[in-house]
Amino acid sequence: MNMNLGVVRHDWDKKEVEELFNLPFNDLLFKAQVVHRQHFDPNEVQVSTLLSIKTGACPEDCKYCPQSGHYNTGLEKEKLMQVEAVLTKAKQAKEKGSSRFCMGAAWKHPSDKDLPYVLEMVKGVKELGLETCMTLGMLRDDQAQELADAGLDYYNHNLDTSPDFYDKIITTRSYQDRLDTLQHVRDAGMKICSGGIIGMGERASDRIGLLVQLANLPQQPESVPINMLVKVKGTPLEDVEDVDPFDFIRCIAVARIMMPKSHVRLSAGRESMSDEMQALTFMAGANSIFYGECLLTTPNPEAHKDMQLFKRLGLRPEQRIEESDETQEAVLNQAIVKDQEAKNPMFYEASATSAGDSVQH
């Protein structure tokens, strides 16, 4: 199997990706590690914090999502947060060592009425010295440009699954709508965070189809979240069959091989993973996580547990390139020590909203 390992390619075909998936587990992980070490420090993990700035009552019908207004999941709805409240949360996230602050709103797309507030949030978070990321649904080209001009670094918009399986999961926006939004984000000069969800009842060929779509984009996403479905009561996927943990780890490894320079993010579903499984995902090439006690509205492993796991595995939080000093690492190390002394939960509570969805959009 000669795949030019470690080279960014945009011509992946399904057959060769299938061959990767079918490799013996150890061979696949070895290949993923080799690729990972060509482009990244294998002991660094990028750490982001996520805040839900507007929760629930979304008009879209994503079948995995408790924020959809189509399902009754008991989620407490919240209007768009005040700018100042968002900045307070961002400050706390920075103090706890996050390098990126991600803000998510459950919208089909941002309205012209709400966008000015969102732009203020971007500017304010940026001034704190954090990288900024938003997920607000579909964007027109002019909205993407306004966000970029305000200083937004990343825009998250997931493809979710393969084009073939997509209409089993979402009917209110098309796959092409998603690709168009990603193109507007690129045209405006922002970086892309885009990935998908494993465990929605898709076939192996759909996992392949998703990764082929992502890798063959004109420019690969800088950040690729691979989510494991969080089954939420009241959503149509509440009883779907569990994904085999090894199949999930294989997806991470194949994503690492196909998108060698992207950060592969271990995202929703981490709460239900054992420490050993998480360690295997890092070995397979995952090098980004969210921390905080919630994702948009679903529980995330308690943040102090994350830091203990980092310590046990000898992992370090990745530094922002712009930061010339070691502030971020020092802050995290201090937090680890303090936590061990006080045995108190630490780290920022990313969202105070009730338990609910995975971090999708």
Positions marked active-site: 58, 62, 65, 102, 133, 193, 265
Report residue 53: phi and psi, to 5°: -95, -15
- Position 68 contacts ligand SF4 (CB under 6 A): yes
Among 65, 102, 198, 289, binds ligand SF4 (CB under 6 A): 65
Least distance CB 71 / ligand SF4 (angstroms): 9
Q: Which residue has the tokens 């709103």?
A: 105
**Measured distance between the N- and C-terminal CA atoms of the chain, rounded to whole angstroms:** 35
Least distance CB 129 / ligand SF4 (angstroms): 28
- Position 62 contacts ligand SF4 (CB under 6 A): yes
Output 57 or 336, the one with its CB closest to ligand SF4: 57
Q: Give CA–CA dist 275/270, Å, rounded.
A: 9
Least distance CB 31 / ligand SF4 (angstroms): 32
Q: Which stretch binds ligand SF4 (CB under 6 A): 44-52, 54-62, 147-155, 267-275?
A: 54-62
Among 29, 50, 106, 188, binds ligand SF4 (CB under 6 A): 106
Among 46, 220, 278, 360, binds ligand SF4 (CB under 6 A): 360
Q: Which stretch binds ligand SF4 (CB under 6 A): 59-67, 81-89, 201-209, 347-355?
A: 59-67
Residues 120-139 that bind ligand SF4 (CB under 6 A): 137
Among 58, 130, 253, 295, binds ligand SF4 (CB under 6 A): 58
- Position 361 contacts ligand SF4 (CB under 6 A): yes
- Position 206 contacts ligand SF4 (CB under 6 A): no
Q: Of the candidates 203, 261, 252, which has an alpha carbon nearest to the alpha carbon of residue 228? A: 252
Are the beta carbons of 2 and 239 closer than 8 angstroms? no
Q: Which stretch binds ligand SF4 (CB under 6 A): 56-64, 78-86, 114-122, 174-182?
A: 56-64
Contacts with ligand SF4, residue ranges (CB under 6 A): 58, 60, 62, 65, 67-68, 106, 137, 360-361
